[in-house]
Structure 1
Amino acid sequence: MAELRLHGPEITLESPWLIEGFPGVGLVGKIATDHLIEHLEMRYYASVHCEGLPMVGVYRGDDRTVRPPVRLYVSEAHDLLALQCDTPVAANAVETVAACLTSWIVDQNATPIYLSGLPTERDESRPELYGIATGEAGEILTTHDVPLPPEDGLVTGPTGALLNRAAQAGHDSIGLVIQCDPQFPDPEAASVLIDDAIAPLTDLEVDVQDLLERAEEIRDQRERLAQQMQQVGQDESSQAKPLRMYQ
Protein backbone atom coordinates (compact mmCIF):
# COMPACT_ATOMS: atom_id res chain seq x y z
CA MET A 1 0.00 0.00 0.00
CA ALA A 2 1.07 3.57 -0.58
CA GLU A 3 1.91 5.61 2.47
CA LEU A 4 1.05 9.26 2.06
CA ARG A 5 2.39 11.71 4.59
CA LEU A 6 0.29 14.85 4.60
CA HIS A 7 1.95 18.26 4.50
CA GLY A 8 -1.15 20.33 5.03
CA PRO A 9 -4.87 19.99 5.73
CA GLU A 10 -6.95 17.09 4.42
CA ILE A 11 -8.64 17.64 1.07
CA THR A 12 -12.23 17.22 -0.04
CA LEU A 13 -12.54 16.36 -3.71
CA GLU A 14 -15.50 14.84 -5.55
CA SER A 15 -14.28 13.03 -8.67
CA PRO A 16 -10.87 14.54 -9.28
CA TRP A 17 -8.53 14.20 -12.22
CA LEU A 18 -4.98 13.13 -11.46
CA ILE A 19 -2.14 14.17 -13.77
CA GLU A 20 0.92 11.89 -13.59
CA GLY A 21 4.39 13.31 -14.09
CA PHE A 22 6.93 10.49 -13.89
CA PRO A 23 10.01 11.40 -15.93
CA GLY A 24 10.35 9.68 -19.29
CA VAL A 25 11.56 10.30 -22.82
CA GLY A 26 11.62 14.00 -23.64
CA LEU A 27 10.46 14.62 -20.06
CA VAL A 28 7.15 15.63 -21.63
CA GLY A 29 4.98 14.32 -18.79
CA LYS A 30 7.17 15.87 -16.11
CA ILE A 31 7.41 19.25 -17.84
CA ALA A 32 3.65 19.36 -18.44
CA THR A 33 2.85 18.39 -14.83
CA ASP A 34 5.39 20.83 -13.38
CA HIS A 35 3.83 23.61 -15.47
CA LEU A 36 0.31 22.78 -14.28
CA ILE A 37 1.43 22.81 -10.64
CA GLU A 38 3.10 26.20 -11.05
CA HIS A 39 0.48 27.81 -13.30
CA LEU A 40 -2.50 26.73 -11.17
CA GLU A 41 -0.61 27.43 -7.91
CA MET A 42 -1.36 23.94 -6.67
CA ARG A 43 -0.68 23.23 -3.01
CA TYR A 44 1.90 20.69 -1.86
CA TYR A 45 -0.38 18.10 -0.30
CA ALA A 46 1.53 14.91 0.48
CA SER A 47 4.74 13.00 -0.04
CA VAL A 48 4.47 9.52 -1.54
CA HIS A 49 6.33 6.59 0.01
CA CYS A 50 6.12 3.32 -1.91
CA GLU A 51 8.60 0.49 -1.52
CA GLY A 52 11.32 0.92 -4.12
CA LEU A 53 11.14 4.68 -4.54
CA PRO A 54 14.57 6.30 -4.19
CA MET A 55 15.38 7.51 -0.69
CA VAL A 56 16.82 10.88 -1.64
CA GLY A 57 16.19 14.48 -0.66
CA VAL A 58 15.31 17.03 -3.33
CA TYR A 59 15.94 20.76 -3.06
CA ARG A 60 15.60 23.75 -5.41
CA GLY A 61 17.93 26.59 -6.26
CA ASP A 62 17.53 29.58 -3.92
CA ASP A 63 15.48 27.42 -1.51
CA ARG A 64 16.80 25.49 1.51
CA THR A 65 13.72 23.25 1.79
CA VAL A 66 14.36 19.52 1.25
CA ARG A 67 11.48 17.33 0.10
CA PRO A 68 11.00 13.67 -0.93
CA PRO A 69 11.30 12.97 -4.68
CA VAL A 70 7.66 11.95 -5.28
CA ARG A 71 4.97 14.37 -4.18
CA LEU A 72 1.28 15.07 -4.67
CA TYR A 73 -0.16 18.53 -5.25
CA VAL A 74 -3.79 19.57 -5.10
CA SER A 75 -6.10 22.29 -6.34
CA GLU A 76 -9.48 21.96 -4.69
CA ALA A 77 -10.80 24.79 -6.85
CA HIS A 78 -10.08 22.74 -9.98
CA ASP A 79 -10.83 19.29 -8.46
CA LEU A 80 -7.31 18.33 -9.54
CA LEU A 81 -4.39 16.27 -8.24
CA ALA A 82 -0.91 16.16 -9.74
CA LEU A 83 1.92 13.72 -9.10
CA GLN A 84 5.39 15.22 -9.37
CA CYS A 85 8.54 13.08 -9.52
CA ASP A 86 12.13 14.34 -9.70
CA THR A 87 14.07 11.08 -10.11
CA PRO A 88 13.99 7.92 -12.23
CA VAL A 89 12.26 4.87 -10.74
CA ALA A 90 14.37 1.69 -10.71
CA ALA A 91 13.18 -1.16 -12.93
CA ASN A 92 12.77 -3.54 -9.99
CA ALA A 93 10.49 -1.04 -8.24
CA VAL A 94 8.16 -0.17 -11.14
CA GLU A 95 5.56 -2.85 -10.38
CA THR A 96 5.48 -2.13 -6.65
CA VAL A 97 5.15 1.62 -7.19
CA ALA A 98 2.35 1.12 -9.72
CA ALA A 99 0.47 -1.19 -7.35
CA CYS A 100 0.62 1.10 -4.33
CA LEU A 101 -0.24 4.25 -6.29
CA THR A 102 -3.16 2.57 -8.05
CA SER A 103 -4.67 1.60 -4.70
CA TRP A 104 -4.56 5.21 -3.54
CA ILE A 105 -5.91 6.59 -6.84
CA VAL A 106 -8.89 4.21 -6.70
CA ASP A 107 -9.56 5.17 -3.07
CA GLN A 108 -9.75 8.83 -4.14
CA ASN A 109 -12.25 8.03 -6.92
CA ALA A 110 -9.83 9.82 -9.24
CA THR A 111 -9.49 9.43 -12.99
CA PRO A 112 -5.78 9.43 -13.81
CA ILE A 113 -4.26 10.89 -16.97
CA TYR A 114 -0.98 9.12 -17.67
CA LEU A 115 1.53 10.92 -19.91
CA SER A 116 4.13 9.44 -22.23
CA GLY A 117 6.41 10.56 -25.03
CA LEU A 118 6.92 8.74 -28.31
CA PRO A 119 10.57 9.17 -29.43
CA THR A 120 10.43 10.77 -32.88
CA GLU A 121 12.93 12.67 -34.97
CA ARG A 122 11.31 16.09 -34.81
CA ASP A 123 11.00 18.66 -37.58
CA GLU A 124 9.23 22.03 -37.46
CA SER A 125 5.74 20.53 -37.68
CA ARG A 126 3.46 20.29 -34.64
CA PRO A 127 4.03 16.97 -32.82
CA GLU A 128 1.20 14.47 -33.20
CA LEU A 129 -0.73 13.31 -30.16
CA TYR A 130 -3.12 10.43 -29.53
CA GLY A 131 -5.05 8.94 -26.66
CA ILE A 132 -5.47 5.44 -25.22
CA ALA A 133 -7.64 4.32 -22.32
CA THR A 134 -8.70 1.61 -19.89
CA GLY A 135 -12.14 0.90 -18.47
CA GLU A 136 -14.79 3.19 -19.93
CA ALA A 137 -12.51 6.21 -20.28
CA GLY A 138 -12.17 5.81 -24.04
CA GLU A 139 -15.56 7.49 -24.35
CA ILE A 140 -14.08 10.67 -22.86
CA LEU A 141 -11.36 10.70 -25.51
CA THR A 142 -13.93 10.19 -28.27
CA THR A 143 -16.09 13.03 -26.95
CA HIS A 144 -13.10 15.39 -27.04
CA ASP A 145 -11.90 14.19 -30.47
CA VAL A 146 -8.52 13.00 -29.19
CA PRO A 147 -7.03 10.99 -32.09
CA LEU A 148 -6.74 7.20 -32.07
CA PRO A 149 -3.26 5.62 -32.11
CA PRO A 150 -2.05 5.23 -35.71
CA GLU A 151 -0.33 1.87 -35.06
CA ASP A 152 0.17 -0.88 -32.49
CA GLY A 153 2.33 0.13 -29.54
CA LEU A 154 3.15 -0.21 -25.87
CA VAL A 155 4.09 2.05 -22.98
CA THR A 156 7.02 1.19 -20.72
CA GLY A 157 8.31 2.36 -17.35
CA PRO A 158 6.18 3.49 -14.38
CA THR A 159 3.56 4.96 -16.72
CA GLY A 160 3.22 1.65 -18.55
CA ALA A 161 2.93 -0.22 -15.25
CA LEU A 162 0.17 2.13 -14.08
CA LEU A 163 -1.73 1.62 -17.33
CA ASN A 164 -1.22 -2.13 -16.98
CA ARG A 165 -2.69 -2.10 -13.46
CA ALA A 166 -5.70 -0.11 -14.61
CA ALA A 167 -6.26 -2.41 -17.58
CA GLN A 168 -6.09 -5.56 -15.45
CA ALA A 169 -8.63 -4.25 -12.94
CA GLY A 170 -10.85 -2.45 -15.46
CA HIS A 171 -10.38 0.94 -13.78
CA ASP A 172 -10.92 4.08 -15.84
CA SER A 173 -7.70 5.76 -16.91
CA ILE A 174 -6.47 7.80 -19.85
CA GLY A 175 -3.08 7.65 -21.52
CA LEU A 176 -1.83 10.50 -23.67
CA VAL A 177 1.07 9.84 -26.03
CA ILE A 178 2.87 12.59 -27.93
CA GLN A 179 5.76 12.65 -30.37
CA CYS A 180 8.85 14.19 -28.77
CA ASP A 181 12.58 14.62 -29.05
CA PRO A 182 14.24 11.28 -28.23
CA GLN A 183 17.34 12.85 -26.60
CA PHE A 184 16.52 16.22 -25.05
CA PRO A 185 13.79 17.78 -22.89
CA ASP A 186 10.95 18.87 -25.15
CA PRO A 187 8.91 21.77 -23.70
CA GLU A 188 7.19 22.33 -27.06
CA ALA A 189 5.75 18.81 -27.03
CA ALA A 190 4.71 19.29 -23.39
CA SER A 191 2.86 22.50 -24.36
CA VAL A 192 0.93 20.63 -27.08
CA LEU A 193 0.12 17.89 -24.56
CA ILE A 194 -1.48 20.50 -22.29
CA ASP A 195 -3.09 22.65 -24.98
CA ASP A 196 -4.56 19.89 -27.16
CA ALA A 197 -5.53 17.29 -24.55
CA ILE A 198 -5.05 17.90 -20.81
CA ALA A 199 -6.77 21.31 -20.73
CA PRO A 200 -9.84 20.32 -22.78
CA LEU A 201 -10.21 16.95 -21.01
CA THR A 202 -10.12 18.53 -17.55
CA ASP A 203 -11.93 21.75 -18.51
CA LEU A 204 -8.97 23.85 -17.42
CA GLU A 205 -7.67 27.11 -18.81
CA VAL A 206 -3.89 26.82 -18.93
CA ASP A 207 -1.60 29.34 -20.61
CA VAL A 208 1.32 27.50 -22.22
CA GLN A 209 3.00 30.57 -23.72
CA ASP A 210 5.43 30.65 -20.82
CA LEU A 211 6.56 27.12 -21.65
CA LEU A 212 7.35 28.17 -25.21
CA GLU A 213 9.08 31.41 -24.20
CA ARG A 214 11.22 29.59 -21.59
CA ALA A 215 11.89 26.51 -23.72
CA GLU A 216 15.67 26.96 -23.77
CA GLU A 217 15.84 27.64 -20.03
CA ILE A 218 13.68 24.58 -19.29
CA ARG A 219 15.87 22.39 -21.51
CA ASP A 220 18.96 23.53 -19.63
CA GLN A 221 17.33 22.93 -16.23
CA ARG A 222 16.11 19.45 -17.12
CA GLU A 223 19.01 18.24 -19.28
CA ARG A 224 20.76 16.32 -16.51
CA LEU A 225 17.58 14.40 -15.64
CA ALA A 226 17.03 13.69 -19.34
CA GLN A 227 20.55 12.26 -19.53
CA GLN A 228 19.82 10.04 -16.54
CA MET A 229 16.66 8.78 -18.23
CA GLN A 230 18.66 7.87 -21.35
CA GLN A 231 21.08 5.82 -19.26
CA VAL A 232 18.43 3.66 -17.57
CA GLY A 233 16.70 0.68 -19.15
CA GLN A 234 13.39 0.69 -21.00
CA ASP A 235 11.49 -0.55 -17.95
CA GLU A 236 12.63 2.51 -15.98
CA SER A 237 11.91 5.13 -18.61
CA SER A 238 8.29 5.94 -19.34
CA GLN A 239 7.85 6.04 -23.09
CA ALA A 240 5.67 4.75 -25.89
CA LYS A 241 7.08 2.41 -28.52
CA PRO A 242 5.68 0.92 -31.71
CA LEU A 243 4.88 -2.74 -31.08
CA ARG A 244 6.56 -3.71 -34.36
CA MET A 245 9.90 -3.16 -32.61
CA TYR A 246 9.21 -6.31 -30.60
CA GLN A 247 7.96 -8.52 -33.43
Structure 2
Amino acid sequence: MIEKKEQKDEKIICSAIFEGKSSRVVITDFDCAVFKSHDNPPLFIIGFTGVGLVGTIVSNELIVQLKMKQIGYVLSEDLPPITLFYEGILKHPFRIYYSTEYNIIVSICEVPFNPGSYIDLSRTLMDWALHNEIQDVICLQGMADESYHLSDKKPPVYAAAEREILDKILTLGVIRPPSGVLLGAEAAMLNECLNNKLNGAVFLTPANPKYPNPEGAAIIMEKISEIYKFPIKLDTLLKQSADIKKNLAELAQHTTEMHSQGPLKPFRDLYA
Protein backbone atom coordinates (compact mmCIF):
# COMPACT_ATOMS: atom_id res chain seq x y z
CA MET A 1 0.00 0.00 0.00
CA ILE A 2 1.42 3.41 -1.01
CA GLU A 3 0.64 6.61 0.87
CA LYS A 4 1.53 9.97 -0.57
CA LYS A 5 0.71 13.67 -0.51
CA GLU A 6 0.21 13.75 3.24
CA GLN A 7 -0.69 16.92 5.11
CA LYS A 8 0.51 16.94 8.72
CA ASP A 9 -1.12 18.62 11.71
CA GLU A 10 1.00 17.72 14.75
CA LYS A 11 0.13 14.04 15.31
CA ILE A 12 -2.68 14.03 12.75
CA ILE A 13 -1.93 12.61 9.32
CA CYS A 14 -4.47 13.00 6.54
CA SER A 15 -3.74 11.11 3.34
CA ALA A 16 -4.74 13.04 0.23
CA ILE A 17 -4.19 9.84 -1.78
CA PHE A 18 -4.25 6.31 -0.38
CA GLU A 19 -3.29 3.94 -3.14
CA GLY A 20 -3.56 0.20 -3.79
CA LYS A 21 -2.54 -1.86 -6.81
CA SER A 22 -5.43 -0.82 -9.04
CA SER A 23 -7.47 1.54 -6.85
CA ARG A 24 -7.06 4.65 -4.75
CA VAL A 25 -8.89 6.76 -2.18
CA VAL A 26 -8.57 10.47 -2.93
CA ILE A 27 -9.38 12.98 -0.18
CA THR A 28 -10.05 16.54 -1.36
CA ASP A 29 -10.49 19.83 0.50
CA PHE A 30 -10.72 18.20 3.92
CA ASP A 31 -8.72 18.18 7.15
CA CYS A 32 -8.86 14.71 8.71
CA ALA A 33 -8.04 16.30 12.07
CA VAL A 34 -11.80 16.80 12.34
CA PHE A 35 -12.09 13.04 12.97
CA LYS A 36 -10.13 13.62 16.18
CA SER A 37 -12.54 16.28 17.43
CA HIS A 38 -14.96 13.53 18.55
CA ASP A 39 -14.52 11.21 21.52
CA ASN A 40 -15.33 8.19 19.36
CA PRO A 41 -14.12 7.22 15.87
CA PRO A 42 -16.58 7.86 13.02
CA LEU A 43 -19.15 5.30 11.96
CA PHE A 44 -18.48 4.15 8.38
CA ILE A 45 -21.53 3.22 6.25
CA ILE A 46 -21.02 1.78 2.76
CA GLY A 47 -23.75 1.54 0.12
CA PHE A 48 -23.45 -0.19 -3.25
CA THR A 49 -25.81 -0.67 -6.16
CA GLY A 50 -27.48 -4.02 -5.54
CA VAL A 51 -30.76 -5.86 -5.16
CA GLY A 52 -33.59 -3.42 -4.51
CA LEU A 53 -31.06 -0.55 -4.59
CA VAL A 54 -31.15 -0.75 -0.79
CA GLY A 55 -27.54 0.39 -0.30
CA THR A 56 -27.71 3.38 -2.63
CA ILE A 57 -31.13 4.48 -1.33
CA VAL A 58 -29.99 4.48 2.31
CA SER A 59 -26.69 6.19 1.48
CA ASN A 60 -28.29 8.90 -0.64
CA GLU A 61 -30.93 9.59 2.00
CA LEU A 62 -28.33 9.89 4.77
CA ILE A 63 -26.22 12.24 2.66
CA VAL A 64 -29.20 14.53 2.06
CA GLN A 65 -30.80 14.39 5.50
CA LEU A 66 -27.58 14.80 7.49
CA LYS A 67 -26.32 17.49 5.06
CA MET A 68 -23.08 15.62 4.56
CA LYS A 69 -20.12 17.15 2.75
CA GLN A 70 -18.24 15.27 0.06
CA ILE A 71 -14.65 14.81 1.24
CA GLY A 72 -13.30 12.61 -1.53
CA TYR A 73 -13.85 9.78 -3.97
CA VAL A 74 -12.60 6.32 -4.87
CA LEU A 75 -11.01 5.35 -8.18
CA SER A 76 -10.59 1.78 -9.36
CA GLU A 77 -9.92 -0.25 -12.48
CA ASP A 78 -12.64 -2.58 -11.16
CA LEU A 79 -15.32 0.02 -11.95
CA PRO A 80 -16.77 0.30 -15.47
CA PRO A 81 -16.19 3.53 -17.47
CA ILE A 82 -19.40 5.26 -16.36
CA THR A 83 -19.70 8.94 -15.39
CA LEU A 84 -22.69 10.42 -13.58
CA PHE A 85 -24.08 13.92 -13.60
CA TYR A 86 -26.73 15.66 -11.51
CA GLU A 87 -28.33 18.87 -12.78
CA GLY A 88 -25.56 19.05 -15.37
CA ILE A 89 -22.72 18.65 -12.86
CA LEU A 90 -20.39 15.69 -13.31
CA LYS A 91 -19.91 13.43 -10.29
CA HIS A 92 -17.53 10.62 -9.47
CA PRO A 93 -19.55 7.38 -9.32
CA PHE A 94 -17.87 6.28 -6.04
CA ARG A 95 -17.88 9.14 -3.51
CA ILE A 96 -17.09 9.64 0.19
CA TYR A 97 -19.08 12.00 2.43
CA TYR A 98 -18.72 13.07 6.07
CA SER A 99 -20.99 14.63 8.67
CA THR A 100 -18.96 16.55 11.23
CA GLU A 101 -22.02 17.02 13.43
CA TYR A 102 -22.89 13.32 13.68
CA ASN A 103 -19.41 11.87 13.03
CA ILE A 104 -20.56 9.59 10.22
CA ILE A 105 -18.78 8.70 6.97
CA VAL A 106 -20.88 7.46 4.06
CA SER A 107 -19.32 5.93 0.97
CA ILE A 108 -21.69 5.49 -1.97
CA CYS A 109 -21.03 3.71 -5.25
CA GLU A 110 -23.72 4.26 -7.89
CA VAL A 111 -22.37 1.98 -10.62
CA PRO A 112 -22.05 -1.82 -10.63
CA PHE A 113 -18.65 -3.44 -10.25
CA ASN A 114 -17.12 -5.56 -12.94
CA PRO A 115 -18.06 -9.13 -11.91
CA GLY A 116 -15.74 -10.69 -9.34
CA SER A 117 -13.10 -7.96 -9.42
CA TYR A 118 -13.31 -5.81 -6.31
CA ILE A 119 -10.77 -7.33 -3.92
CA ASP A 120 -8.11 -4.65 -4.36
CA LEU A 121 -10.69 -1.88 -4.11
CA SER A 122 -12.13 -3.24 -0.86
CA ARG A 123 -8.63 -3.69 0.55
CA THR A 124 -7.68 -0.12 -0.32
CA LEU A 125 -10.85 1.36 1.19
CA MET A 126 -10.55 -0.68 4.39
CA ASP A 127 -6.86 0.19 4.73
CA TRP A 128 -7.88 3.85 4.51
CA ALA A 129 -10.45 3.20 7.24
CA LEU A 130 -7.79 1.61 9.45
CA HIS A 131 -5.45 4.53 8.76
CA ASN A 132 -8.09 6.90 10.12
CA GLU A 133 -8.77 4.68 13.18
CA ILE A 134 -12.33 3.82 12.14
CA GLN A 135 -13.80 0.89 14.05
CA ASP A 136 -17.40 0.12 13.00
CA VAL A 137 -18.07 -0.54 9.30
CA ILE A 138 -21.69 -1.06 8.18
CA CYS A 139 -22.59 -2.58 4.80
CA LEU A 140 -26.12 -2.63 3.36
CA GLN A 141 -27.61 -5.27 1.10
CA GLY A 142 -30.93 -6.43 -0.32
CA MET A 143 -31.68 -10.15 -0.11
CA ALA A 144 -32.86 -11.29 -3.53
CA ASP A 145 -36.37 -12.71 -3.32
CA GLU A 146 -38.52 -12.61 -6.45
CA SER A 147 -41.58 -13.60 -4.40
CA TYR A 148 -41.20 -10.54 -2.15
CA HIS A 149 -43.73 -7.78 -2.66
CA LEU A 150 -44.09 -4.48 -0.82
CA SER A 151 -46.82 -4.82 1.78
CA ASP A 152 -48.47 -2.89 4.57
CA LYS A 153 -46.29 -4.70 7.12
CA LYS A 154 -42.78 -3.50 7.88
CA PRO A 155 -40.23 -5.71 6.14
CA PRO A 156 -37.87 -7.63 8.42
CA VAL A 157 -34.33 -6.39 9.01
CA TYR A 158 -31.55 -8.93 9.48
CA ALA A 159 -27.98 -8.33 10.58
CA ALA A 160 -24.78 -10.32 10.79
CA ALA A 161 -21.70 -8.88 12.45
CA GLU A 162 -18.47 -9.60 14.25
CA ARG A 163 -18.81 -10.45 17.93
CA GLU A 164 -17.44 -7.06 19.03
CA ILE A 165 -20.57 -5.23 17.88
CA LEU A 166 -23.14 -7.99 17.49
CA ASP A 167 -24.91 -7.31 20.79
CA LYS A 168 -25.17 -3.60 19.99
CA ILE A 169 -26.68 -4.31 16.58
CA LEU A 170 -29.15 -7.02 17.59
CA THR A 171 -31.47 -4.59 19.34
CA LEU A 172 -34.72 -2.89 18.43
CA GLY A 173 -36.11 -5.85 16.52
CA VAL A 174 -33.11 -6.61 14.30
CA ILE A 175 -33.02 -10.35 13.56
CA ARG A 176 -29.91 -12.55 13.60
CA PRO A 177 -30.14 -15.06 10.73
CA PRO A 178 -28.97 -18.57 11.69
CA SER A 179 -26.71 -18.99 8.64
CA GLY A 180 -26.16 -17.69 5.14
CA VAL A 181 -23.70 -16.65 2.46
CA LEU A 182 -22.87 -13.10 1.34
CA LEU A 183 -21.62 -12.36 -2.16
CA GLY A 184 -20.31 -9.35 -4.01
CA ALA A 185 -18.68 -6.10 -3.00
CA GLU A 186 -20.20 -6.15 0.49
CA ALA A 187 -18.67 -9.57 1.14
CA ALA A 188 -15.26 -8.32 -0.02
CA MET A 189 -15.48 -5.36 2.40
CA LEU A 190 -16.54 -7.56 5.31
CA ASN A 191 -13.75 -10.05 4.59
CA GLU A 192 -11.26 -7.20 4.86
CA CYS A 193 -12.85 -6.24 8.19
CA LEU A 194 -12.40 -9.81 9.41
CA ASN A 195 -8.74 -9.67 8.38
CA ASN A 196 -8.10 -6.40 10.20
CA LYS A 197 -9.03 -4.49 13.36
CA LEU A 198 -12.39 -3.36 11.98
CA ASN A 199 -15.82 -4.31 13.30
CA GLY A 200 -17.74 -5.31 10.19
CA ALA A 201 -21.52 -5.72 10.00
CA VAL A 202 -24.16 -6.07 7.31
CA PHE A 203 -27.83 -5.09 7.45
CA LEU A 204 -30.14 -6.96 5.10
CA THR A 205 -33.77 -6.88 4.06
CA PRO A 206 -35.73 -8.87 1.45
CA ALA A 207 -36.03 -7.19 -1.94
CA ASN A 208 -37.39 -8.11 -5.33
CA PRO A 209 -34.63 -7.68 -7.95
CA LYS A 210 -37.22 -6.25 -10.37
CA TYR A 211 -37.84 -2.97 -8.54
CA PRO A 212 -36.36 -0.65 -5.86
CA ASN A 213 -37.24 -1.21 -2.22
CA PRO A 214 -37.37 2.20 -0.47
CA GLU A 215 -39.54 0.68 2.26
CA GLY A 216 -36.84 -1.82 3.23
CA ALA A 217 -34.21 0.92 2.96
CA ALA A 218 -36.28 3.11 5.30
CA ILE A 219 -36.53 0.39 7.95
CA ILE A 220 -32.79 -0.35 7.79
CA MET A 221 -32.02 3.36 8.09
CA GLU A 222 -34.38 3.61 11.07
CA LYS A 223 -32.63 0.74 12.86
CA ILE A 224 -29.13 2.12 12.25
CA SER A 225 -30.15 5.60 13.41
CA GLU A 226 -31.62 4.21 16.63
CA ILE A 227 -28.54 2.10 17.35
CA TYR A 228 -26.01 4.84 16.57
CA LYS A 229 -28.10 7.79 17.83
CA PHE A 230 -28.58 10.18 14.94
CA PRO A 231 -31.86 11.70 13.65
CA ILE A 232 -33.57 10.69 10.41
CA LYS A 233 -36.98 11.07 8.79
CA LEU A 234 -38.70 8.31 6.87
CA ASP A 235 -41.48 10.31 5.18
CA THR A 236 -39.83 10.60 1.74
CA LEU A 237 -38.85 6.94 1.50
CA LEU A 238 -42.24 5.70 2.69
CA LYS A 239 -43.95 7.93 0.12
CA GLN A 240 -41.73 6.46 -2.59
CA SER A 241 -42.73 3.01 -1.37
CA ALA A 242 -46.41 3.92 -1.52
CA ASP A 243 -45.96 5.27 -5.06
CA ILE A 244 -44.24 2.07 -6.18
CA LYS A 245 -47.05 -0.02 -4.66
CA LYS A 246 -49.59 2.09 -6.53
CA ASN A 247 -47.69 1.80 -9.81
CA LEU A 248 -47.30 -1.96 -9.40
CA ALA A 249 -51.03 -2.29 -8.79
CA GLU A 250 -51.75 -0.19 -11.88
CA LEU A 251 -49.33 -2.27 -13.90
CA ALA A 252 -50.99 -5.51 -12.76
CA GLN A 253 -54.41 -4.12 -13.67
CA HIS A 254 -53.10 -2.89 -17.02
CA THR A 255 -51.60 -6.32 -17.75
CA THR A 256 -54.87 -8.04 -16.90
CA GLU A 257 -56.78 -5.72 -19.22
CA MET A 258 -54.25 -6.39 -21.97
CA HIS A 259 -55.34 -10.01 -22.28
CA SER A 260 -58.89 -9.00 -23.09
CA GLN A 261 -58.30 -5.75 -24.99
CA GLY A 262 -55.31 -6.40 -27.20
CA PRO A 263 -51.64 -5.35 -27.24
CA LEU A 264 -50.18 -3.49 -24.25
CA LYS A 265 -49.90 0.25 -24.73
CA PRO A 266 -46.88 2.18 -23.42
CA PHE A 267 -47.06 2.42 -19.63
CA ARG A 268 -45.51 5.17 -17.61
CA ASP A 269 -42.27 4.60 -15.73
CA LEU A 270 -42.81 2.25 -12.81
CA TYR A 271 -40.41 4.19 -10.61
CA ALA A 272 -41.39 7.74 -11.53
Q: TM-score w.r.t. structure 1 length?
A: 0.80
Whether 1:113 aligns to 2:138 is yes
Distance 2:142 2:219 in 1: 12
Match of 1:45 among 71, 88, 105: 71
Structure 2: distance between partners of 1:8 and 1:32: 25
Give the residue type in structure 2 aligned to 1:109: E
What RMSD over aligned residues (CA atoms) do the two structures have, in Å?
A: 2.1
Corresponding residue number in structure 2 for 1:28: 54
- 1:24 CA drift (Å): 0.8
CA–CA separation in structure 1 for the residues paired with 2:159 and 2:217: 15
Q: Distance in 2 between matches of 1:143 and 1:218?
A: 29
Match of 1:139 among 121, 144, 167: 167
Give the equivalent residue in structure 1 for 2:194: 167
Q: How does 1:45-194 map to 2 (within 5 A)?
A: 45-60=71-86, 63-110=87-134, 111-120=136-145, 121-123=147-149, 124=151, 125-134=153-162, 136-142=164-170, 146-149=174-177, 151-169=178-196, 171-194=198-221
Point out where structure 1 has 5 or more consecutive residues left out of the alignment: 220-247
Aligned 8 A contact 2:130 2:197 in 1: no
* CA distance in structure 1 between the partners assigned to 2:31 and 2:121 by the alignment: 23
Shift of 1:160: 1.0
Quickly say closer, same or farther: Cα 1:177–1:58, change in 2 above 3 A.
same
- Greater alpha carbon shift after TM alignment, 75-84 vs 99-108: 99-108
User: Residue 21 of structure 1: CA displacement?
Assistant: 0.8
Q: CA deviation at 1:145?
A: 5.5
**1:80 Cα deviation after fit:** 0.5
More helix as a share of residues: 1
After TM superposition, give the deviation of residue 7 of structure 1 in Å. 3.3
Q: Report deviation, 1:50.
A: 3.1
Gaps spanning 5+ residues in structure 2: where?
Answer: 1-19, 246-272
Q: Which letter maps to 1:140?
A: K
Which structure is richer in relative contact order (CA contacts within 8 A, separation 6 or more)?
1
User: Would you tell me which structure has more strand in proportion to its own residues?
Assistant: 2
Q: Distance in 2 between matches of 1:48 and 1:209?
A: 31
* Number of equivalences: 215
What's the % identity of the aligned pairs? 24
Aligned partners of 1:51, 1:218: CA distance in 2, in Å?
35
Equivalences for residues 209-220 of structure 1 within 5 A:
209-215=235-241
CA distance in 2, matches of 1:192, 1:20: 16
Note if contact 1:127-1:180 (Cα within 8 Å) is conserved in structure 2: no
- TM-score, normalised via structure 2 length: 0.73
